[in-house]
Amino acid sequence: MARAPHETSRDYANPYRPLALRLFNALGRVKPFDPDQIVAAAIRSAGHDRFASDAFREPLARLIESLHASAKLSPVGRFMTAQHLAGALANNLRAGDLFAREPGLREIELARPVMVCGLARSGTTLLQRLLAQLPGARAIAAWEAYEPIPESGQQPGGDPLADPRVKRTRAAEKFLRWLSPDLFAVHPMDALAPEEDVLILENLFRSGVPESTYNVPDFADWLERRDPTVAYAWLADCMRVLQWQRPGEFWVLKSPHHLEWLDVVFGVFPDVTVIQTHRDPVETVPSFCSLVAHGWGVMSDAIDPHVVGSHWDRKIDRMLTRALDTRDARDGAGFVDVHYRELVDDPLGVMARVCGSVGLPWDDSVRAKLERWLADNRQHKHGLHRYAAEDFGLSAEGIASRYGRYRERFDLT
């Protein structure tokens, strides 16, 4: 008899906990963070204080204030957050050391980028991974997104799977699967698969990652009023390092986060082509709220799904509004559109059209390769994602009304 697939829980206020973590949370303490101590510890660990960018200091302090005010971290969440903060600073310090030793790195001319950008749950991951299979594609694997800067002494070339960062990311993948099967089913982590480059922006604590991971409304509000150009410049520098290690003919980037800042994206990457995916927000908004609720549930035992819905309904509206404004200001230049239903129903037809529009390689051998990839990467591989708008204090009618401009613009009604 076939085994029934795992289905994700809709009881967001009571997230799953393995017994060992329930005991850890029951016995552990949540100590406050001190940003100065965190930075000092990172410097001691690196053995130098040459940060590649100092732009992390204020957002780190603001993030910690918001974590203390509203995130309600569990002991496990506090431990994982400490690891995240230390990892971001370690990447920055590694970059500072590397750029000092290899000053020509910052002069490397980047291969042209192709950026998949659309609402979360609109097919961005599928399209990104199909593009990454094309000849000459240079995608950012998960192990590179989490640790874009190599350890001291690592040189270009060689077997990338021998890189110690791969082993660490595989351990994190295994831990996440054990820690939260629901989160893993909704957004599985694969150390070797292409991942979102927003994780690199997060090295400067200037991205949407914190509000996707914690309830930090004060930090999110502060960040919306800041120019993210310095974070995208950091992304470009990290891409230069990655290209130095393993070159390609064109970059494949991806993150829904970029919707909010496409004006800045075109400023930092003037030759970028944005492939925007489209799916009815009536479907995507509650689906993404479910993803966020499962993510918050990893870090806290006090989750209110209505808070998730209220925050992200407003946030997604802002992201789409800013994206539409950028498209209008550019008269559509630099954009290619892909509808979710078309992508799901005819992925190879979509890829043929996209490759023709963007000037990417396409022939019978490429089609055959993608056919094999699709056969090996079926949907719902790690479980079925269950969600409903009402879980988050939302309704289909309310979402349809709020996003009317976008739905009508791209015929999603």
> According to CATH, what is the number of the domain 22-409?
3.40.50.300
> What confidence category does residue 379 fall into, taking pLDDT thresholds of 50, 70 and 90?
low
How many CA atoms are closer than 13 Å to the CA of 115, on its beta-carbon side?
Answer: 24
Q: Which two tokens stand for residue 53?
A: 């960018």
Q: What is the DSSP letter of 335?
A: E
Give strand pairing partners of 194.
141
Q: What is the pLDDT of residues 74-112, one digit of tens each?
A: 999 999 999 999 999 999 999 999 999 999 999 999 999
Could you give the CA distance from residue 180 to residue 178 in angstroms, rounded to a whole number? Answer: 6
Answer yes or no: pTM beyond 0.85. yes
pLDDT, tens digit, 9 for 90 and up, residues 214-228: 999 999 999 999 999
State the CB neighbour count (10 A cutoff) for residue 14.
Answer: 10
Percent helix, strand and coil across the chain, each to the nearest 5: 60, 10, 30
pLDDT value, residue 1: 44
Asked if residue 200 has pLDDT above 60, the reply is yes
The pLDDT confidence band at residue 382, using thresholds 50, 70 and 90, is low
**What single-letter DSSP state applies at residue 207?**
S
